[in-house]
Amino acid sequence: MKIAIGADHAGYELKELLSKVITEIGHEIIDMGTGSSCSVDYPDYAESVAKAVSDGTYERGILICGTGIGMSIVANKFKNVRAALCNDLFTAKMSRLHNDANILCIGARVIGIGLAKEIVETWLNTPFEGNRHLKRLEKINFIERKVINSENEVIKRS
């Protein structure tokens, strides 16, 4: 798989480490920054990765900040993005099985390196279960379209 990865300063070191692990497993990593531990703003990196997943350029994305919260808030603003904040193995597995999550968000200040590696491996290796969960994803898409349409109506009227 082609995986876009991004982090702010709090997630930079973990991003570097996880990128190596993911490449060793055999996936292709597209690093969208940041490139050092100097302070930056997480929305900028979440936007780059989420945009690329939203428009289908890359199948999956991984975003790392201090808690993973800021990254997930931003990423879920993008169409077709299902970003899951997973700081434990169970949610990492379930986010794939039930939600077909296409972006994984991790908190570098919440979990250790060992757990982060396991979370990423689990998330990359777990397939979407489909079946009854498919119609729920269709409902998410429907809601997304409704929100976009109502926003367009407001723009048209103003």
- List interacting residues with ligand RB5 (CB under 6 A): 8, 10, 42, 65-67, 69-70
> 75 vs 100, which CB is nearer to ligand RB5?
75
For the question of residue 98 being annotated catalytic, the response is yes
Instruction: Tally Cβ neighbours within 10 Å of residue 115.
Output: 15
**Could you tell me if 77 and 84 are in contact, meaning their C-beta atoms sit under 8 angstroms apart?**
no
Q: Which tokens belong to 142?
A: 């429907």
The catalytic position among 9, 38, 98, 133 is: 98
**Smallest separation, CB 115 to ligand RB5 (Å):** 17
d(CA 31, CA 74): 18
The catalytic position among 9, 27, 38, 65 is: 65
**Could you tell me if 3 and 61 are in contact, meaning their C-beta atoms sit under 8 angstroms apart?**
yes
For the question of residue 65 being annotated catalytic, the response is yes
> 87 vs 122, which CB is nearer to ligand RB5?
87
Give, in order, the Cα–Cα distances in Å from 106 to each of 26, 72, 149, 155, 158: 21, 9, 32, 35, 39
**Smallest separation, CB 107 to ligand RB5 (Å):** 7
**Smallest separation, CB 83 to ligand RB5 (Å):** 13
Enzyme catalytic residues? 65, 98
